[in-house]
Structure 1
Amino acid sequence: MKLTIKTQVEQDYLTVKNGFDASLFKKLSPPFPPVKLLRFDGSKKGDLVSLELNFLAFKQTWTSEITEDQTNEKEFYFVDEGVKLPFFLKSWRHKHRIIQSGDQSIIRDEIQYQAPFGLLTLLLYPALLLQFAYRIPVYKKIFKRKA
């Protein structure tokens, strides 16, 4: 299943690129499930990001590896792919794109995922959509043009 979320922000793509750090990652986490950042190497190929999802009755570890990253004159992107996923996911690929748009930029989350069975893949879509929609006002606030 594919999911794409786009957010226009007021800063240029290289400034936004430099803001993609552990601090931003923590701010992007929605209230539920609570997320504990276990490891954050960065957003370069070979880096790992590991977190713990707390579903109150149980916890799940999610570890992704950055498998690609590139910066050119118009865009920066990196791809994280799940290497250890929560039980409800069979595969995960998330391409984070920051695209220059005039003197602003667009943050584009392109997600491909699959659950262990088809019905669950469909049922996860609205939950994932909400999780990533939560990021829109956070991105807009953090990457607001400085006065």
Structure 2
Amino acid sequence: MRFIIITPVAMDYQQVAQNFGKSLFQALNPPFPPVKLLRFDGNAKGDEVHLELNFIIFKQVWKSLITENNTNSKEIYFVDEGIQLPFFLKYWRHKHRIVNKSSGAAIIDDITFRSSFFLFDFLLYPVLYLQFLYRKPVYKKIFQKKRSNNS
């Protein structure tokens, strides 16, 4: 299964990319399940991100490896792939794209996932989609164009 969420923001794509770090990652986490960041190396190839998801009655560890990253005049992107996933996921690939636009940037979350059972994918789809839809207002708030002192 795959979904793509596009969020236009007013800030330059290079500035957006510079702020794709640990504090942004923590701000993007939805209220449920609570996420504890165990390790955050960064967004370069070979970096790892480790999380603990707290589902109240049980916890799950999620480890991702950054498998690609690239910068050019049109976009900056990096890809994280799951190397240890919660029991309900068998495959995870998330391409984070920050695309250069004349009026700022577009942040594109391009996510492909699979569970153990094809039918379960359809149940997971709206849950995961809503988890990432939660990011849109956070991105917009964080990546507003900085106002000058005169405004």
Normalising by structure 2, we get a TM-score of 0.97
Partner Cα separation in structure 2 for residue 51 and residue 22 of structure 1: 12
State percent identity of aligned pairs.
60
SS in 1 for 2:107: strand
Q: CA deviation at 1:94?
A: 0.3
| Structure 1: gaps (5+ residues) | none
Q: CA deviation at 1:119?
A: 1.1
Which 4+ residue blocks in structure 1 deviate beyond 4 angstroms? none
Mapping of 1:113-132 within 5 angstroms? 113-132=113-132
Over aligned residues, Cα RMSD in angstroms? 0.5
Considering only CA atoms, is the larger Rg found in Structure 1 or Structure 2? 2
Q: CA deviation at 1:103?
A: 3.5
Q: Does 1:42 align with 2:50?
A: no
SS in 1 for 2:52: strand
Aligned length in residues:
147
| Structure 2: gaps (5+ residues) | none
- Deviation string 1:74-110 (CA, Å, 9 cap, x unpaired) is 1000000000000000000000000001030000000
SS in 1 for 2:44: coil
Normalising by structure 1, we get a TM-score of 0.99
Q: Does 1:78 align with 2:78?
A: yes
SS in 1 for 2:87: coil
Partner Cα separation in structure 1 for residue 68 and residue 85 of structure 2: 19
